[in-house]
Amino acid sequence: MIFWFKPIRWILFGIVLLCLVHEARGLDPNRLPSQYVREEWIRASRFPGGAVNTIGQTADGYLWIGTDKGLIRFDGFNFKFVSFTSDTTASKVPILLLLVDAAGKLWLRPQGTDVLRQLDGKFENVTYGAEALTSQITAVSKDSNGGVLLSDIAKGTFRFKGDEIQRLAAPTVLPGSSPVISMAETAEGKIWMGTLGAGLFLFADGRAGKIDAGLPDRKINCLLPISNEELWVGTDYGLYHGNDKGLRRAELPSSLGSVQVLSMLRDRDSNIWVGMARGLLRINAKGTSFSEENELRGDGGINVLFEDREGNLWIGGARGLGRIRDSAFVTYSSVSDRSAIVVSNTMALYMSTRRAAPGSLPLEVGCMFSRTAAFNPLHRYHQMR
């Protein structure tokens, strides 16, 4: 039975309204990384997949993880290997990349095979003019509208939007024979292309121009466009920031020296996260923070970063999977010895008793926010933590 007391009735009513109108946030940029809630699933204990190369989330809330041992689905409690061919053994290959397009379809890039797309629960080969099993795909990424960009060293660059396929460029659009290994599109439709050994290019209006002012490195591992006029570039030797007029090396803690950048992400609160061979960087208006992430990366690095629809940051390393999330509640207090819980699928209001000083029993009242009312198995897991 729940007992409501007049002194706190209006407080509770106000908190409920606050919970209902509060816009859920991701990772508060004002907090230190050490103040976030962290969880890890390491290869030697709870994680079965080995090195994590790529992460995505489908509309049903499940997390999909591409590892060196195959494709894994995570429901918040259990990791399950998923076969993408009728031959289970053939599915035990490294998954280099996965993504979810605007239509909610899951795309896979397994090592040594064609790109696959999930349709009605089954995976099918994606065709674009190359003969089956002869494609030479070197990069796949999402475009600015949730479509898919694909680079084939022999066939060129393609865009997939629903059932439509558009060839954007011939393979000769870039000079030399160095393959594209990273791609990212700006909001206005320009495509940044990073190559294995020829540097950085900007593709627009059917032509590709080389961008090398301030960028001495020729292997471009990852790209993060913030706007049409702002770009972050990760290489084997450093992190760069700029635009098509030129770039400059980002100022990082001197203790890091030369850094190998493997992955980048900008979250909903404008934090820039950078996965490196030596750990994890966070860059925002407050400055730069660094954590070594020794348990996750082991002798490797931070291969992938992913923000789920709850605003949590998932980290894929050489030894397993990690998650960083913000504190799930705001706390208020009043003197009482009663408690109550009010829960909905988008908000949870809790009250609990916790002794603050001898002779007093303050009532702790808080609210937890969910970003979606749709079923999300990972959200169910969060509520039970």
Q: How confident is residue 293, by pLDDT bands cut at 50, 70 and 90?
A: very high
Structure tokens that stand for 353 in this block:
């008793």
What pLDDT digit, counting tens, does each position of 180-190 carry? Answer: 999 999 999 99
Q: How confident is residue 90, by pLDDT bands cut at 50, 70 and 90?
A: low
Whether the model pTM is above 0.85: no
Query: Which has the closest alpha carbon to 352: 368, 334, 335, 340?
Result: 340
Question: Which pLDDT does position 362 carry in this prediction?
Answer: 36
CA angle 115/120/125 to nearest 5° reads 20
Q: Give start-end residues of each CATH 2.130.10.10 domain in the chain.
A: 37-325
Structure tokens that stand for 243 in this block:
């635009």
The pLDDT of residue 368 is above 80: no
Q: How confident is residue 132, by pLDDT bands cut at 50, 70 and 90?
A: low
Question: Which pLDDT does position 376 carry in this prediction?
Answer: 58
**3-class DSSP string for 285-309:** CCEEEEECCHHHHCCCCEEEEEECC
Report yes or no: 337 and 296 within 8 Å, Cβ to Cβ. Answer: no
Residue 156 amino acid letter: G
* DSSP characters over 219-266: -EEEEEEEETTEEEEEESS-EEEEETTEEEE----GGG-S--EEEEEE
Query: Which has the closest alpha carbon to 346: 372, 385, 311?
Result: 372
Question: Which pLDDT does position 94 carry in this prediction?
Answer: 94
Q: H or E element: which one contains 172?
A: none
Q: What share of the chain is helix, strand, coil (3-state, %, to 5)?
A: 10, 45, 45
Report yes or no: 366 and 332 within 8 Å, Cβ to Cβ. Answer: yes
Question: Which pLDDT does position 369 carry in this prediction?
Answer: 42
Mean pLDDT for 173-180 is 84
CATH number assigned to the domain with residue range 37-325, chosen from the 4 options 3.40.50.620, 3.30.360.10, 1.10.10.10, 2.130.10.10: 2.130.10.10
Question: Which pLDDT does position 46 carry in this prediction?
Answer: 84
How far is C-alpha 130 from the chain's CA centre? 30
Alpha-carbon distance of 373 to 368, in angstroms, equals 13
Mean confidence (pLDDT) of the chain: 82
Strand order in the sheet with 287-291: 261-266, 272-276, 279-284, 287-291
